[in-house]
Amino acid sequence: MTAAIYLISRRIAHRGAIASFKWENKLSPLLYIAYLGLGLLSLLWSTDVAYSVLQWVMDMTSLVFAYYFIGCFVMLDRYFPNHPIRMYKILGHAIFILIGIFVIGFFTHPTAFMRMTHEGEEYRLGGFMMNPNELGMLAGVGMACYMLCLYQKGYRAWTLIKILILLFAVVLTGSRSTIIGVLIIAFYHINQSSKRWLKIAMYAAGAMALPLVVNTLIIKSAANGGLGEVMSMTGRLPFWTALVTEALPKEPLLGYGFQRIYYTLYFSGVHTYSASMAHNTFLQALMNLGLIGFAIVLLQFFFTMRAFVLTRDMKLKLMTASILIPVMINSFTEFGIFGETNYGILLYQVLIFYLSLRINPRLSSLEKLFLRKKRPDLIPV
C-alpha cells in the first residue's frame, strides 16, 4: 500500500500538480520523528532487538504511507479544487470493507471470528485475528467518517445503513471505550448541526439508548471486575501501578527498548496478572523509552492538539475530531497512538500530516515551466 500510494501521488503530479510542500505546526511532525529516532537508537539496549526492529520498521513504513496519502489530498485540493474525492469517504469505505469481513464472519464462521473472554461469559468480535478493542475503535472511526457523509445530499439512506452495520460491529466487539467514543462523536456532530429537529431527535435517541449503555458500561463491568473495572473501563489499574512502581525504577531514563515493557516478554507484578504490553499508550511509551521518551511523546501530543485547536478550517477540524476522538479513547485502554503497531498509529500519523502539510507557494523556475505546460489555466505564484 505504501508503494501504491507513492505511485498514485506521482500520477497526480504528472497530471499537473507540484509535489512541493511546506510545513505548518512544524513541531508536531518534528517531535514525532524525534520519537522514532529515539526508538531507533533504543535498539542498542532493547531487551528484544528483533521485535523492536519489527515494530519500528512497521511504524516507519506507515509514516511514509501517511505522508504520501495526505500529500495526494493536498495536491488535489490545490491544483484540482473541484475534485470529488474526499478523505472521509475513502476512509469510511475502506473501514466498512474491513469491518464487513468480520460481520460476515460472525454469521458464517463464528468460532473463528469471535473470541471468548471473561471466563466464557462474553464472545467478542475479532477472534484472535484482531484485538476486539482495536476493531471496535476502527468501526468507531468508520462511523465518524460516514457521519460526515450525512452532511451532503444524496445516498443518505445507504449511508445510514452502513452506520448501523458498523454500530452492530461495535456492539459485537464489546468494547466499552469504543461505545463511549461513539456517543461522544454522535453528540459532537449533533452540536455542529444547525437543524433543531435533528438535535432533538438525536438527543431523544441518546436518552432511549442510555439504559443499554449503563447496563453495558457499569452493571456488567461491576459484575465482572468490581469498582476498579468500572472506573478505569479496563480493570487494569493494579497492573499499571505495578509497572510504574516495580518495572520503571529498574530502567527509568531510557526504558527497555522500543515497544518493550520489561526484560522478558511478559511483565508480571507481585500482585497482578502477566501482560506483554501496558494497555495504555502513554504508559507504554514510558516503559519502552523511559522518562526521556515519555517527555518527547507528551510534547509531540501537546503540539498536535495545539494545531487541532488553533486551526480555523472547520472542515479540517471536524474531520480531525472525528478520527481523533475514538483513537484517543482507545489509546488510554489499548495499543493506542504510541503503542505496538495498530490502526490507531496509522490514523494518528495521518492526522499529523493532515494538520501540518501544505503546498509551498514558492515555486522554482522549473516548476513554473512545468505548470505552464501542463496547466495553462493556472497562474504560478
pLDDT reported for residue 230: 45
Residue 63: inside a domain: yes
Same-domain pairing of 146 and 174:
yes
Same-domain pairing of 253 and 193:
no
Q: Pinpoint the alpha helices (H) of the chain.
A: 2-14, 27-41, 49-79, 87-108, 110-113, 132-149, 156-173, 176-192, 196-214, 220-232, 237-242, 281-310, 314-331, 343-356, 365-374
pLDDT reported for residue 182: 80
Same-domain pairing of 248 and 365:
yes
Q: Which parts of the chain register pLDDT below 70?
A: 118-121, 192-235, 379-381
Same-domain pairing of 343 and 360:
yes
Residue 15: inside a domain: no
Same-domain pairing of 48 and 95:
no
pLDDT reported for residue 65: 97
pLDDT reported for residue 198: 60
Compute the Cα dihedral for 224, 130, 134, 240 and give only its sign. positive
Residue 242's alpha-carbon distances to 59, 249, 261, in angstroms, are 28, 11, 12
DSSP 196-242: HHHHHHHHHHHHHHHHHHHIIIIIHHHHHHHHHHHHHSSS-HHHHHH
Q: Is the pTM of this model over 0.85?
A: yes
Residue 209: inside a domain: yes
pLDDT reported for residue 186: 77
pLDDT reported for residue 155: 72
Residue 376: inside a domain: no
pLDDT reported for residue 275: 87
Same-domain pairing of 49 and 101:
no
**SS3 sequence, 327-370?**
HHHHHCCCCCCCCCCCHHHHHHHHHHHHHHEEECCCCCHHHHHH
Residue 38: inside a domain: yes
pLDDT reported for residue 46: 95
Tell me the sheet residues that pair with 123: 116
Same-domain pairing of 116 and 172:
yes
Grid coordinates belonging to 205: 435517541
Which residue type is seen at 243? L
pLDDT reported for residue 81: 87
Q: Which of 225, 247, 265 is the last residue in one of the domains?
A: 225
Residue whose C-alpha cell is 474491513: 98
Same-domain pairing of 258 and 324:
yes
Q: Which of 191, 225, 259 is the last residue in one of the domains?
A: 225
Q: 30: burial class by Cβ within 10 Å (0-12, 13-18, 19+)?
A: middle
Cα(37)–Cα(31) distance, rounded to whole angstroms? Answer: 9
Expressed as residue numbers, the domain containing 193 is 86-225
Same-domain pairing of 142 and 216:
yes
Same-domain pairing of 124 and 209:
yes
Q: Which of 225, 249, 267 is the last residue in one of the domains?
A: 225
Same-domain pairing of 183 and 109:
yes
Same-domain pairing of 91 and 75:
no
Residue 23: inside a domain: no
pLDDT reported for residue 118: 60
How many domains is the chain built from?
2
Instruction: List CB contacts of 240: < 8 A, sequence separation 6 or more.
Output: 278, 279, 280, 283
Q: Give the residue from 337, 296, 348 showing the smallest Cα distance to 69.
A: 348
Residue 141: inside a domain: yes
Tell me the sheet residues that pair with 267: 275
pLDDT digits (tens, 9 = 90+) for 254-286: 999 999 999 998 998 887 888 889 989 999 999
pLDDT reported for residue 162: 93
Residue 203: inside a domain: yes
